[in-house]
Amino acid sequence: MELRLLRYFLAVAEELHLSRAAGRLGIEQSPVSRAMRDLERLLDVQLFDRSSRQTKLTWAGQVLLVECRRVLATVEQAIKATKAAAQGYQGTLRIAICDSLAQPYIATLLARSREDEPELEIRVFELPFSQQLKGLHNDLLDIGFALSDAVNDGLIAEAVWTDPLSVIVPARHPLLAHGHVKLDDALKFPVVLCHPEADSGCHHQIQAVLEGAAVSPKVVDHVTSLGVMLTLVGAGYGIGFAIASQVQTLQRPDIAIRPLAGVPPTLSTYLLRRQGEPSGAVKRFMRRVRDEAAPDDTEADA
């Protein structure tokens, strides 16, 4: 298996469009198309559903996307560790985030950490919840951020902040007539949700919100990543639900965001780590997390 095939697959799976994937990779479209056929032949599975106008991942393709991200992250980690040692970094903090999180929070924490500890190398990986658990257990990660607290033995999950849930709709949609959208009104339209088998806290938290609605959702598709969900919403497959601050950072012209009416439901973000006494770098980072999440409680936490 060539890493080149995995890198090409990652681009196509995230873009769901050969031309955009080729542009992202900086190559012509034909080698990308040929590489995807080669990969399917090599694995003897169908990775893409090409029967409709919109290219979609099969379930096998969605599983490979998760594993592909993990493999490429591990390779990248090895390269960065080698280069960091050569550049004189004296410590490393390895942090994983899932793609459904409000990354502005993470950006603030990373900026503060770089300012406070310039000699500490901080590596960030985008990994789904299940891969974060494996990485923490195998000492490939120090900290994880996810939307689930369903950790197994040896790990700790601590709720660190909450974000309001918003409705994500195509750029032209009847719901845009409202400044705030009632949940029951939103569920009159088809919905794209996180896949229940993707082991995502995002799915479980959103499902709990939908179960409290008077209208049962009509789910038209399940996806394993925020990027794929936004692509399908932008293409008009249905509406979605996500953290507004995360979606706003992507600045996509094909989608729009509306807050839910009334007191909006929230999604909780959890910090994951191994049980036991954390390292000094982990302790200091956790203090920054708590300070950012509850600045008024800084003195109480000191």
Per-position DSSP letters for 61-109, written without gaps between them: HHHHHHHHHHHHHHHHHHHHHHHHHHHT--EEEEEEE-TTS-HHHHHHH
* Two structure tokens written together for 266: 């929230």
**Residues 292, 187: contact at Cβ < 8 Å?**
no
- Closest among 148, 151, 168, 169 to 159, alpha carbons compared: 148
**Residue 302: partners with Cβ closer than 8 Å, 6 or more residues away:** none
Helix, strand, coil abundance in the chain, percent, nearest 5: 50, 25, 30
Q: What whole-number distance in Å separates Cα of residue 302 and Cα of residue 236?
A: 50
Q: pLDDT at position 166, please?
A: 92
The total number of residues shown for the chain amounts to: 302
* Two structure tokens written together for 198: 């993707």
What is the pLDDT tens value at each position of the chain, 302 positions in all?
788 999 999 999 998 888 889 998 999 989 999 999 999 999 999 999 877 677 889 999 999 998 898 888 888 877 876 776 665 555 788 999 886 666 678 888 899 988 888 878 888 888 888 888 989 988 889 999 988 888 888 999 999 988 898 999 999 999 999 999 999 999 999 999 887 766 566 778 888 888 888 889 999 998 877 888 899 999 999 999 988 887 887 788 999 999 999 888 888 889 999 999 988 889 989 999 988 776 444 343 43
* Two structure tokens written together for 240: 């979605």
3-state secondary structure of 3: helix
Q: What whole-number distance in Å separates Cα of residue 63 and Cα of residue 65?
A: 5
Q: What whole-number distance in Å separates Cα of residue 43 and Cα of residue 46?
A: 8
Q: What whole-number distance in Å separates Cα of residue 269 and Cα of residue 100?
A: 10
Surface-to-core class of residue 235, CB atoms within 10 Å of its CB (0-12 exposed, 13-18 middle, 19+ buried): middle
Q: What interhelical angle do 129-137 and 59-87 show, nearest 10?
A: 40
| Phi–psi pair at 157, nearest 5 degrees | -120, 125
- Closest among 129, 147, 205 to 137, alpha carbons compared: 129
- Closest among 282, 191, 288, 168 to 237, alpha carbons compared: 191
**Residue 273: partners with Cβ closer than 8 Å, 6 or more residues away:** 136, 142, 143, 144, 155, 156, 158, 282, 286
What is the pTM (predicted TM-score) of this model?
0.64
